[in-house]
Chains A and B, each alone.
Chain A
């Protein structure tokens, strides 16, 4: 009886695994600030770790072309502001 129960559980689990839709982009969508919000981003060196994590998540999600001359005007401006904010922690905050 025990063996039957285990076998049934395995079969059900297998069916579930086969029928489950493929997982795509499992990471949650970060909050995407507007350009104006980015301009007013409250940079705080004491919170650099969490703020950088947030900003890099936005960067990963946006996935802008690294060649800025290939971007349209809006993306170029957004990318510029985003990168400038990220780099500020490197040169603007005490190491």
Chain B
């Protein structure tokens, strides 16, 4: 759980600093995993075509036996029979959706880094740690630590230090900055 929280924090921090947007979408996975028709046998007579074939779905072979009744020559009628079988597979395994997440970051523009301000409520990962810092210390009975950030102020490279202290619910307060 702690690892999950830490990963979430890091991900969030990256999103904040890199001006990225995360988009979630659902994709019907059926089409991608339905294999080609194999071992096809056709039985054609005027007005109908019966097909037997094998097809793989998610790597598992399925046997199809389908008949199309209607007008058409051997090619069109049997193709329709094949399609009926494929459609049935889609219906049978329909509803299998895959959720995917896309992370889009601006690659042309400079990411905007907003310096931390005193009084801001942040997540801990938003405050960069101080290399070789002494870790956490206690201040007013709260857990605190130093942070150090680098940023651009109207073309000037700036380095600032500060202190953040933990409030409740993973909420951290920027207590001071210099």
Binding site for B on A (CB under 8 A): 66-69, 79-80, 82-84, 87, 90-92, 95
Q: Chain A: interface secondary structure?
A: helix
Which of B98-119 touch A at CB < 8 Å? 115, 117-118
Q: Which residues of B contact A83 (CB under 8 A)?
A: 176, 178
Chain B: interface residue count, which band?
10 to 19
Q: CB of B9 within 8 A of chain A? A: no
Complex formed: what's the CA distance from A90 to B176 in Å? 13
Given known contacts A80-B161, A87-B163, A68 and B178 CB-to-CB distance under 8 angstroms: yes
Complex formed: what's the CA distance from A79 to B134 in Å? 22
Q: Which residues of B contact A95 (CB under 8 A)?
A: 137-138
Given known contacts A79-B178, A80-B178, A91-B146, A68 and B137 CB-to-CB distance under 8 angstroms: no
State whether B160 touches A68 (Cβ < 8 A): yes
Q: Which residues of B contact A66 (CB under 8 A)?
A: 118, 177
Q: Which residues of B contact A91 (CB under 8 A)?
A: 134, 137, 144, 146
- Please give the distance in Å from B129's CB to the nearest CB on chain A: 13
State whether A69 touches B115 (Cβ < 8 A): yes
State whether A90 touches B178 (Cβ < 8 A): no
Q: Which residues of A contact B134 (CB under 8 A)?
A: 91-92
Q: CB of B153 within 8 A of chain A? A: yes
- Please give the distance in Å from A94's CB to the nearest CB on chain B: 11
Complex formed: what's the CA distance from A13 to B137 in Å? 55
Given known contacts A79-B178, A83-B176, A84-B178, A69 and B146 CB-to-CB distance under 8 angstroms: no
